[in-house]
Structure 1
Amino acid sequence: MREARTVALLLAVSLLGGACAGSRGAAVPLVHQSEAVGAPMPEALLVALHFSGSTPAFWDEHVQSLDIPVRTLLPQGPRPRRDGFTWFQADHEAKTWEGKAEDVERMAARLAELIREVRAAHPELRRVVVTGFSYGGDLAWMLAIRHPELVDAAVPMGTRLLGDPAGELPASLRVWVLQGEQDAIIPVQHTRERVAELKGRGVPIDLRTYPDLGHDVSPALLEDWRTFLRQALQGPVD
């Protein structure tokens, strides 16, 4: 049951401030929301990253369905797309594997700064879990491998698994990848081969696939998502 929540933390940039930042070549800060759910001071932070063309509101019902105390961090992609927002410029899909990975790495670095800010404001937080779907899944994966000092577990969904760990990952880190076997955007065989390659290199990663699912979520996937998240958010930090 969802208890009274803390006031949302919103970061809004004025047109003047955005223009000034652009003139200096600095990235405009990401709009984001953080709130406590289920308790005044949860000890776990869930960072949830929406898919392209969506908004942070996509996560509202799914966070409520976890039914555990948690602080959320829900960033919004910086670029408008369809009825929502996206994370990357329009040429992202035309880039090589390496070019896409560079885009994702740069955005993940910005998200890592948000995580640091929220943790500094809420020292009671003891563990951080990241999740996302599609582009959001790419970012959740990149946060786990590039910023393992900030992330205890990750549940990326419908992700390309771009990029490789920069160094040895902590033994306590866990990554669960969820994907539909009928995904027309990311072939499941590619994901299986990529996960096998990463596991062979010692990356703590596991894959679960869903036979009749495309590039989407389903009740079965979401049930596993809840199970993995509850375990990671409530489990002890090694």
Structure 2
Amino acid sequence: MRELRTLALLLAVPLLGGACAGTRGAAGVPLVHRSEAVGAPNPEALLVALHSSGSTPAFWDEHVQSLGIPVRTLLPQGPRPRRDGFTWFQADHEAKTQEGRTEDVERMAARLAELIREVRAAHPEVRRVVVTGFSYGGDLAWMLALRHPELVDAAVPMGTRLLGEPTGALPHRVRVLQGEQDAIIPVQRTRERVAALKDRGVPIVLRTYPDLGHDLSPALLEDWRAFLRQALQGPVD
């Protein structure tokens, strides 16, 4: 196991260039991440973008540039190698009960929350934080908004299972994006879940895409950009 962790870190360095190791979690594996100012020296908004399983933080680079606005990025990397990239959870994650999967996501979200606090402490000019992600990254973006609403002003989880229940403070604005042909997360289940969350007072909106599976599309990305531009530049309240 120690050799596997060492290999993950060695692989991460050329992928991330100027990456730095973040806070260690209970598993002892540092979360490699990259944080950069884009479009201005000291942006007032922080975008936390979380990759899907088997991908890398570099996936987000072109999408961040396409926003065309000043923003600081926080691009963490999943701690475990998978295919040509990395993943967030152990191999038995999908075999667990819903309760077990939820606990996995909560633990990783807590580690990501520590990273957000570190970046904000290093960059006090940051006044608002938006989180986004796809698939497992979407699960984590939602969980950050749900369990750490004091850190998150808005969230755009995509292709997410929306695990976990509100237990106190409600998350801020949440926009869920999903393909209607998603074979991994049935869209009807997502519709029912969003409706139940709305009934509990969660400010959540779902937008679906008729011909899209468990993936991103130009139409979805255009909506993603429009919402993020507003959330990253709009008022904190």
TM-score in terms of structure 1 length: 0.89
The Cα offsets for residues 162-211 of structure 1, whole Å up to 9 and x where unpaired, read as 001221326xxx00000000000000000000000000000010000000
C-alpha contact (below 8 Å) 2:16/2:58 kept by paired residues: no
Deviation at 1:55, TM superposition (A): 0.1
**Partners in 2 of 1:222 and 1:127 — Cα distance?**
21
Residue 110 of structure 2 corresponds to 109
Q: Which moved more, 1:198-207 or 1:18-27?
A: 18-27
| Closer, same or farther: CA 26–126 of 1 in aligned 2, 3 Å | same
Which stretch has the larger CA shift, 149-158 or 4-13?
4-13
Is the 8 Å Cα contact of residues 5 and 38 (structure 1) preserved in structure 2?
A: no
Gaps of 5+ in 2: none
SS in 2 for 1:36: strand
Q: State the Cα distance separating 1:126 from its structure 2 match.
A: 0.1
Distance 1:10 1:45, change over 3 A: farther
Structure 1 gap segments, 5+ residues each: none
Determine the C-alpha separation between the residues in 2 that align with 1:91 and 1:220.
Answer: 34
Deviation digits for residues 98-130 of structure 1, max 9, x if unmatched? Answer: 110000000000000000000000000000000
Write the deviation string for residues 76-106 of structure 1: whole angstroms up to 9, x where unpaired: 0000000000000000000111110000000
Any conservation in 2 of the 1:6–1:40 contact (CA below 8 Å)? Answer: no
1:137 to partner: Cα distance: 0.0
Pairwise CA RMSD? 7.3
| Distance in 1 (alpha carbons) for counterparts of 2:62 and 2:211 | 23
Whole-angstrom distance in 2 between the partners of 1:3 and 1:220: 42
8 A Cα contact 1:52 1:85, kept in partner: yes
12 and 79 in structure 1: CA distance in 2 versus 1, 3 angstrom threshold: closer
- State the partner residue of 1:67: 68
Residues 1:120 and 2:121 are matched in the alignment: yes
Does the Cα contact within 8 Å between 1:52 and 1:135 map onto a contact in 2? yes
Relative to structure 2, which stretch is displaced further, 19-28 or 135-144?
19-28
Shift in CA distance, 3/182, structure 1 to aligned 2, threshold 3 Å: same
Instruction: Indicate the larger mover: 12-21 or 150-159.
Output: 12-21
Judging changes above 3 Å, is the alpha-carbon distance between structure 1 residues 43 and 91 closer, same or farther for their aligned structure 2 residues? same
Q: How many residues align?
A: 235
Structure 2 counterpart SS, 1:206: strand
Q: TM-score, normalised by structure 2?
A: 0.89
Percent sequence identity over aligned pairs: 90
